[in-house]
Structure 1
């Protein structure tokens, strides 16, 4: 375990890193310090060649992240509010989405506002049966500011995204799975185990291929998507992972990436 952070716990084991947001007294709400610490941990893990998959979760069994810490920005003006949102995008949310290693959210309870936006920035989402997800910003006279209006429609479709954003309703985990917002739902006591099982499977595959797949998939709704896929597909033919993977297949053994 690494203890250089105050609001998160960072652990590494068997090619997998676990970041636990640890502010249970505030239901793991995101404040500036927590955002900066998660960002720093991601930078550390991105350059750690032993780590191939990252899991992001919250401490306890009540909340993944209950939202942004409203007390921090309650008196902001327009300029400061735009700076807050832009810094959040650049420092954390976009960083997760564009990280070269898969990030899996283990949503262990409330994922509201910035918490749901954090989960949506991750590449895969597993949730506990007690999880509740929503974007309540319009009840504060605001809109989501950390990517909610952009990522939610891509995951669930524009109509459902509009309903969730306009109504500010929370939805249960099973409903979130039905609409494609989360991949799987498990009992709270199984959530982290199941998430680690998936991470282990991913960690045994080619890290270079997965990195290219992340970048290509992130462009799937742009006019650059197909050309990027073709380019990366070709590039991988020159890399050691492809040589090992194909050799292992032909030799009927498991690849060693």
Structure 2
């Protein structure tokens, strides 16, 4: 079984960051930490003009939080640290001075929807249905909520957060503005992402940096906000309801 990883490949001004976990690209704390650091370093690298963020494998883009780690959380402090992992990735994406293009090849759940929502431009396949499943296990999409709401609007975000058992198709996500383009196959997606990233490399990096600041205006308080949200999730994951529910997932 392939081990989890985060790595970056830099070619012709494009920095491609790829993360992988054998459990459907679910994200434990160490991978979240590596991902946040890699995004931050890529943002500071002058050889990189644009970033592509993708996951390994050809099926699930990201299954969200690692259930194995969720089950083992036994105190609020540990819970907050775990959920802060997603907060740190979203904040790293928000602060990164370069455009981040998302490549979403398949289903994405929970925290994965948050990561897709924090992309500056996100492309997907028709297999990339999305689900905010947190309510199913007795918590809620607190940490990723601001990023998802920023893309889908409060109406779209609350719809999928409340209807926590349903996968919404890629076409719905495109209508709501999460996905910019939806392709019939991974091969077509890769061609589309490559062509788009190559084209962006021809633009003025200073202009793109200033545009990114403009697009994310009004989110300057997210360092504090997402930390507060991580505390809520960290508390709820210890509830009897959630503990009992997580046992069934073992």
Checking the alignment, whether the CA contact within 8 Å between 1:138 and 1:166 is kept in structure 2 is: yes
Match of 1:200 in 2: 198
**Secondary structure at the counterpart of residue 61 of structure 2:** strand
Shift of 1:217: 1.4
Checking the alignment, whether the CA contact within 8 Å between 2:29 and 2:82 is kept in structure 1 is: no
Match of 1:137 in 2: 134
Match of residue 102, structure 1, among 99, 105, 128: 99
Q: Work out whether 1:67 is the aligned partner of 2:64.
A: yes
Match of 1:163 in 2: 159
Q: Distance in 2 between matches of 1:165 and 1:42?
A: 27
Match of 1:232 in 2: none
Match of residue 36, structure 1, among 33, 36, 51: 33
Rg larger in structure: 1
TM-score, length of structure 2 as denominator length: 0.80
Checking the alignment, whether the CA contact within 8 Å between 1:7 and 1:33 is kept in structure 2 is: no
Checking the alignment, whether the CA contact within 8 Å between 1:137 and 1:143 is kept in structure 2 is: yes
Match of 1:150 in 2: 146
Checking the alignment, whether the CA contact within 8 Å between 1:129 and 1:188 is kept in structure 2 is: no
Q: Distance in 2 between matches of 1:126 and 1:87?
A: 24
Match of 1:46 in 2: 43
CA distances 1:68-125 after superposition (whole Å, capped 9, x unpaired): 1021122423332223323431x31111112101111101111111111111111111
Shift of 1:145: 3.9
TM-score, length of structure 1 as denominator length: 0.78
CA distances 1:30-59 after superposition (whole Å, capped 9, x unpaired): 111211221222233122211111111111
Q: Distance in 2 between matches of 1:46 and 1:161?
A: 28
Checking the alignment, whether the CA contact within 8 Å between 1:107 and 1:125 is kept in structure 2 is: yes
Checking the alignment, whether the CA contact within 8 Å between 2:102 and 2:116 is kept in structure 1 is: yes
Considering Cα pairs closer than 8 Å and 6+ residues apart, tell me whether 1 or 2 has the greater RCO. 2
CA distances 1:179-220 after superposition (whole Å, capped 9, x unpaired): 212111012221122112111111111111111111121116
Q: Distance in 2 between matches of 1:153 and 1:173?
A: 17
Q: Distance in 1 between matches of 2:8 and 2:176?
A: 31
* 5+ long unaligned stretches in structure 2: 221-250
RMSD, aligned CA = 1.9
Match of residue 127, structure 1, among 121, 124, 130: 124
